[in-house]
Amino acid sequence: MSEVGMPGDEPTRSRPATAGRLYRLFGGRPNELRRPVDRTRRRWNIAFVLSILIALSCGVVVTTAVWDAEGRTAREAARHRHRIEATTVGAVERTVSNRSGGTSRTVAPAVWEYPAARRHSDTISVPFGTPAGRTVTIWVDDAGREARAPSTEAQRVLTAAVAGLGSFGLLVLATGAVVRLRLLLVESRSLTQWEYEWEAVEPRWSGRLKREQGPGDD
């Protein structure tokens, strides 16, 4: 004889823990015990979560914009940069570049030709210990002056990533500070309200008579 299950015996499906927390966070289940201060605290927590999503979107936008800008700059620079050979004509010496924030580098006097039959001479960066008469590779502009090499793809990726992460971090820190300050104010108001309610309830809860009541008062 088969047993007939009772209606209350049916297994109930429980929501996943994460889904349940999100459901409660966004107020999907009403709670009569929730105070106005609790609802305010919940709204600010939701605002912080949304601000993280907005900051993430802004970070992606900034990363994409910087990547595109760096790519255009690199392509434009590559059109006016030329890689040629220069020959050192003197001893290597160490100098400190003020434009590079005080970074030291080793330089040597060198000569090269660019455009054809147009001779140039200047000090160029070389590896330490480079002897005179050694051929080194340099980058020059259209006029033949030494110039910075076009940025590499790795450098552009790093620049775009730093810009995106920086904007994301600044937005999160700013909104986090605002939300944190607001939650502190909410917590202060909650404690004040709690003390006020406790003053009203504590004498009856503990059995202690209020000071204004006498032994014969109701």
Note the pLDDT tens digit of each residue in 185-217.
888 877 777 777 777 776 777 766 555 555 455
CATH architecture group of domain 82-149: Beta Barrel (2.40)
Q: Identify the pLDDT of residue 105.
A: 82
Q: Identify the pLDDT of residue 4.
A: 46
Q: Is there a contact between 119 and 111 (Cβ–Cβ < 8 Å)?
A: yes
Q: Which residue positions in the chain have pLDDT lower than 50?
A: 1-12, 14-15, 215
Q: Identify the pLDDT of residue 161.
A: 96
Q: Identify the pLDDT of residue 98.
A: 54
List helix spans (H) across 80-152.
Answer: none
In whole angstroms, what is the distance from residue 145 CA to residue 28 CA? Answer: 68
CA distances in angstroms from 176 to 46, 52, 89, 163, listed in the order given: 12, 9, 60, 20
- Domain boundaries defined on the chain: 19-71+156-206, 82-149
Q: Identify the pLDDT of residue 157.
A: 95
In whole angstroms, what is the distance from residue 178 CA to residue 50 CA? Answer: 14
Q: Identify the pLDDT of residue 110.
A: 94
Helix 17-25, helix 36-79: angle, nearest 10? 110
Averaged pLDDT score across all residues of the chain: 80
DSSP character string of 4-21: PPPGGGSPPPPPPHHHHH
Q: Identify the pLDDT of residue 140.
A: 93
List helix spans (H) across the chain.
Answer: 17-25, 36-79, 153-206
